[in-house]
Structure 1
Amino acid sequence: MKRIHKERDRLLRRLTRITGLAGATAAFLCVLVPGSGSTQELAIALTLSVVIAGLVFLQTMRGSFAAALGVVAASVAFVLTLGTAPVLDPATGSAIAVTGGVASASVAASLVVRRHGVLLVCGLAGALVATIVWTSAATGHRMIEILVTTVVGWSVLAVLGAWFDNGVRIAETRIGEVGRAHEAERIASELEAQQRQDARVLHDTVLATLSLLAHSGVGVSANALRDQAGDDARLLRQLRLGVPLDNGSNAIFSPGSDDDLLSTTFESVRQRFVRMGLDVSWHGAGQLVLPRETLDALVGALGECLENVRRHSGVTEADVTITDDEHTVRAMVTDSGDGFEPDSVDPARLGYAESVVGRLSAVGGRARIFSSPGSGTTVMLEVPKP
Structure 2
Amino acid sequence: MAVWREIAAPTPGRQHHESLDFFAAQHAQLVSTTAFAFGITGTAVSLVANLIPGAVHLAAFPLVAAAHLVLGLAIVWLWRRRSPLAQVCVFGAGILTLLAITAGTPETGINFSIGASMGIVAGWGIGSLAVTLTATRGGVASLASAWVATLAVVLMLSLSIGLAGYRVIGLTSLICVLWLLCLVFGVWLVSSQARVSRRIVSIGRAHNLERRASETEASRLRSARLLHDTALATLTLLSHSGVGVDAATLRAQAASDRELLTRLRKGESPNPRASGQYTLTHTAELQLGGTLEAVKSRFNGTELAVTWHGSGQLGLEHSKLDAFINALVECVENVRRHAKVTEAHVTLSDDGVVVRGVVTDAGVGFDPSQIPGGHLGFRQSIVARIEEAGGSVRVFSAIGAGTTVVLEVPK
Common fold: TM-score over 0.5: yes
Q: How many residues align?
A: 378
The answer on whether the counterparts of 1:200 and 1:355 sit within 8 Å (CA) in structure 2 is yes
Equivalent in the alignment of 2:45: 26
The answer on whether the counterparts of 1:44 and 1:81 sit within 8 Å (CA) in structure 2 is yes
Worse overlay, 300-309 or 350-359: 350-359
Percent identical residues: 35
Q: Once the 2 structures are TM-superposed, how far is the Cα of residue 99 of structure 1 from its aligned partner?
A: 0.7
Give 5+ residue unaligned stretches, structure 1. 253-258
Residue 99 of structure 2 corresponds to residue 74 of structure 1: no
Equivalent in the alignment of 2:83: 64
Q: Once the 2 structures are TM-superposed, how far is the Cα of residue 332 of structure 1 from its aligned partner?
A: 0.8
Q: State how 1:110-129 maps to structure 2 within 5 Å.
A: 110-113=132-135, 116-129=138-151
Correspondent of 1:171 among 184, 193, 196 = 196
Paired letter, 1:29: V
Cα deviation, 1:306-331, whole Å, max 9, x if unaligned, reads: 11222233444432101244653321
Paired letter, 2:240: H
C-alpha distance in 1, partners of 2:281/2:378? Answer: 27
Residue 181 of structure 2 corresponds to residue 159 of structure 1: no
The answer on whether the counterparts of 2:40 and 2:72 sit within 8 Å (CA) in structure 1 is yes
Equivalent in the alignment of 2:242: 217
Equivalent in the alignment of 1:53: 72
Equivalent in the alignment of 1:320: 346
Equivalent in the alignment of 1:2: 21
Residue 355 of structure 2 corresponds to residue 333 of structure 1: no
Cα deviation, 1:172-223, whole Å, max 9, x if unaligned, reads: 3223322332232223222212211111111111001011111122233333
Worse overlay, 85-94 or 223-232: 85-94
Distance 1:114 1:221, change over 3 A: same
The answer on whether the counterparts of 1:369 and 1:377 sit within 8 Å (CA) in structure 2 is yes
Q: Once the 2 structures are TM-superposed, how far is the Cα of residue 237 of structure 1 from its aligned partner?
A: 3.4
C-alpha distance in 2, partners of 1:300/1:248? Answer: 10
Q: Once the 2 structures are TM-superposed, how far is the Cα of residue 225 of structure 1 from its aligned partner?
A: 2.3
Q: State how 1:139-218 maps to structure 2 within 5 Å.
A: 140-142=162-164, 143-218=168-243
Distance 1:233 1:326, change over 3 A: closer
Equivalent in the alignment of 1:280: 306
C-alpha distance in 1, partners of 2:290/2:155? Answer: 93
The answer on whether the counterparts of 2:289 and 2:312 sit within 8 Å (CA) in structure 1 is no
C-alpha distance in 2, partners of 1:46/1:238? Answer: 84
Q: Which secondary structure does the structure 1 equivalent of 2:315 belong to? A: strand
Distance 1:99 1:267, change over 3 A: same
Residue 250 of structure 2 corresponds to residue 231 of structure 1: no
Equivalent in the alignment of 1:292: 318
Worse overlay, 263-272 or 82-91: 82-91
C-alpha distance in 1, partners of 2:288/2:33? Answer: 61
C-alpha distance in 2, partners of 1:291/1:320? Answer: 21
Q: Which secondary structure does the structure 2 equivalent of 1:281 belong to? A: strand
Distance 1:261 1:168, change over 3 A: farther
Q: Which secondary structure does the structure 1 equivalent of 2:36 belong to? A: helix
Equivalent in the alignment of 2:131: 109
Q: Which secondary structure does the structure 2 equivalent of 1:220 belong to? A: coil
Distance 1:265 1:162, change over 3 A: farther
Give the TM-score taking structure 2 as reference length.
Answer: 0.80
The answer on whether the counterparts of 2:39 and 2:126 sit within 8 Å (CA) in structure 1 is yes
Distance 1:376 1:42, change over 3 A: closer
Q: Which secondary structure does the structure 2 equivalent of 1:2 belong to? A: helix
Paired letter, 2:258: A
Q: Which secondary structure does the structure 2 equivalent of 1:146 belong to? A: helix
C-alpha distance in 1, partners of 2:211/2:49? Answer: 62
Correspondent of 2:407 among 364, 381, 384 = 381
Equivalent in the alignment of 2:13: none
Cα deviation, 1:7-26, whole Å, max 9, x if unaligned, reads: 12222222222332222222
Residue 288 of structure 2 corresponds to residue 266 of structure 1: no
Q: State how 1:342-381 maps to structure 2 within 5 Å.
A: 342=367, 346-347=371-372, 348-372=374-398, 375-381=401-407
The answer on whether the counterparts of 2:283 and 2:322 sit within 8 Å (CA) in structure 1 is no
Q: Once the 2 structures are TM-superposed, how far is the Cα of residue 46 of structure 1 from its aligned partner?
A: 2.9
The answer on whether the counterparts of 1:335 and 1:376 sit within 8 Å (CA) in structure 2 is yes
Q: Which secondary structure does the structure 2 equivalent of 1:378 belong to? A: strand
Cα deviation, 1:116-147, whole Å, max 9, x if unaligned, reads: 33223222122101222344456652322221
Equivalent in the alignment of 1:305: 331
Q: State how 1:240-255 maps to structure 2 within 5 Å.
A: 240=265, 242-244=267-269
The answer on whether the counterparts of 1:250 and 1:291 sit within 8 Å (CA) in structure 2 is no
The answer on whether the counterparts of 1:27 and 1:96 sit within 8 Å (CA) in structure 2 is yes
Q: Which secondary structure does the structure 1 equivalent of 2:300 belong to? A: helix
Worse overlay, 295-304 or 269-278: 269-278
